[in-house]
Chains A and B, each alone.
Chain A
């Protein structure tokens, strides 16, 4: 069986286009992943073109339109499609601008923890010995704290604000990347192709980052998409607790916090940011699943 697959694979065109096509073939087999990707692309478009799409300024307060319900409900107005909040700001515009913050948080947090985690993890897994012990014990200590609590403490030290919240979350997420990278590096390190590169004269840096690391990427990419969504969640949580983005920033978590007191009387003020968070996180998680199926050569059926 493997023989037949191998011969059919040999005849495939090796160009970049063909590889993309192959990637898409495996990715598109997972329907949830495609839906996730479509949603995610929509969110990116929303974030990029927010000033053109949003009908109102997200911080403009319309005193004549306080707590207007969404348009399909009794009392809704066509000017405010999803209604307004307690100080008369347009919900739709705030949600659209909120996409910017959420994606920004996701990108920055993931990049920070990914880069740091990979560097530490590769070093720990490659050199072992006392370097490994020191790095991994520090990571264990970070993991021993409840993650949100640690983030809260860090923000309390650094001072509230979106940037500090992102740094705190990145630090909290780091150990997962370190552990994953280290485990992958340790299993790849003893493979013959690494020894072969060593015999060819490759130095430590080349072995670590050019030979071994690309073969460890598949689990890291999956973890990265997952922490992209967790970062959005945690940033929202910090915002909700008043430690993240500060009002009047239209960040979803902060919006939830401001709307707390209307939870029973004016549902849209609370529910809509919640749904926005839910959909975003779900879409990214689905996409992460599909990425894993498509990227990991071990999972391919050839």
Chain B
């Protein structure tokens, strides 16, 4: 059975210029122990579709779907209270800006123990022990001392490790990583990606990797969903996607990578891909 199942998801925002459809009929499935990458450029609705699935969008958004289930339970029909019990425990999320994702007023130790208190109901000593374990698991040196640090005392890479520690604190079944390495340096990105892959294998999690970076996709994903302007252009396993892309958009996207440059000019998306949906 699929862990997360989305069928025909539509997200509309009410704006001054009338309703705007950010996600337009996207379907996907994430299986247990699978790494699914969602690729797209800005405005492709890749983050919005995941936020919609987690019920984290502002009230101006209207979310409809034929099916939106997690572990067989309907997420759309569920009350906000019930959903909160799942999110943060069984589904966890990490974001692009690690430093901004942590509350600057509290120590990282307080923030991770807060999650443990709410979702796991551990006592004080148990929380601290588990927090140290988690920091060790994500490769933070000197975990006992680091618990007392504030976010601004740590580097971006360290903060992202803390975010990951918080995310895996409750042994989630599904981890959604929204551009987890975009704000980080290449060498740090490598470390974080390696860490995520290691944890995913160890904890047997499903992992959704939202990214715009084809390199990150190639290095992590089992299966890939390509989105463009709120629509799904292609879904394939990672090797097929890079070896033999079916959609014109994917082909254009891959051709625009400077790695694949053949001549002295790059082919651009507009030359290779005529947006057949733009006329609607």
By a beta-carbon cutoff of 8 Å, the part of chain A in contact with chain B is 1-5, 8, 301-302
| A-side contacts of B15, CB under 8 Å | 1, 4-5, 301
Cβ of B126 under 8 Å from chain A:
no
Residue in A1, A301, A302 whose beta carbon sits within 8 Å of that of B22 in the complex: A1
Cβ of B78 under 8 Å from chain A:
no
| 5 A-B pairs with C-beta separation under 8 A | A1-B20, A3-B42, A3-B43, A4-B43, A5-B15
- Judge whether B17 and A5 touch: CB under 8 Å: yes
| B-side contacts of A302, CB under 8 Å | 16
Interface size class of B (residues with CB under 8 A): under 10
| A-side contacts of B13, CB under 8 Å | 1
- Judge whether A4 and B20 touch: CB under 8 Å: yes
- Judge whether B16 and A301 touch: CB under 8 Å: yes
For the complex, give the distance between the alpha carbons of A5 and B18 in Å: 10
By a beta-carbon cutoff of 8 Å, the part of chain B in contact with chain A is 13, 15-17, 20, 22, 42-43, 48
Most chain A Cβ neighbours within 10 Å, of B13, B17, B22: B17
For the complex, give the distance between the alpha carbons of A46 and B87 in Å: 62
Q: How distant is B49 from chain A, measured CB to nearest CB, in Å?
A: 13
Which 10 A-B pairs rank lowest in CB-CB distance, beginning with the nearest? Answer: A3-B43, A4-B20, A8-B17, A1-B13, A1-B22, A1-B20, A301-B16, A5-B15, A3-B42, A5-B17
Q: A1-B13, A4-B17, A4-B20 are in contact. List 8 more A-B contacts (CB 8 A).
A: A1-B20, A1-B22, A2-B43, A5-B15, A5-B17, A8-B17, A301-B15, A302-B16
For the complex, give the distance between the alpha carbons of A1 and B48 in Å: 10
| B-side contacts of A3, CB under 8 Å | 42-43
| A-side contacts of B22, CB under 8 Å | 1
Using CB atoms, name the residue of chain B closest to A29.
B16
| A-side contacts of B17, CB under 8 Å | 4-5, 8
| B-side contacts of A1, CB under 8 Å | 13, 15, 20, 22, 48
Most chain A Cβ neighbours within 10 Å, of B16, B20, B22, B42: B16
Q: How distant is B47 from chain A, measured CB to nearest CB, in Å?
A: 11
For the complex, give the distance between the alpha carbons of A207 and B16 in Å: 35
For the complex, give the distance between the alpha carbons of A3 and B45 in Å: 11
Using CB atoms, name the residue of chain A closest to B17.
A8
For the complex, give the distance between the alpha carbons of A2 and B15 in Å: 10
For the complex, give the distance between the alpha carbons of A2 and B43 in Å: 8
| B-side contacts of A4, CB under 8 Å | 15, 17, 20, 43
| A-side contacts of B16, CB under 8 Å | 301-302
Q: How distant is B158 from chain A, measured CB to nearest CB, in Å?
A: 26
| B-side contacts of A301, CB under 8 Å | 15-16
For the complex, give the distance between the alpha carbons of A254 and B16 in Å: 48
Q: How distant is A301 from chain B, measured CB to nearest CB, in Å?
A: 6
For the complex, give the distance between the alpha carbons of A90 and B80 in Å: 65
Using CB atoms, name the residue of chain A closest to B44.
A3
Q: How distant is B46 from chain A, measured CB to nearest CB, in Å?
A: 13
Using CB atoms, name the residue of chain A closest to B48.
A1
For the complex, give the distance between the alpha carbons of A301 and B42 in Å: 18
Q: How distant is A6 from chain B, measured CB to nearest CB, in Å?
A: 9
Q: How distant is A293 from chain B, measured CB to nearest CB, in Å?
A: 13
For the complex, give the distance between the alpha carbons of A5 and B19 in Å: 11
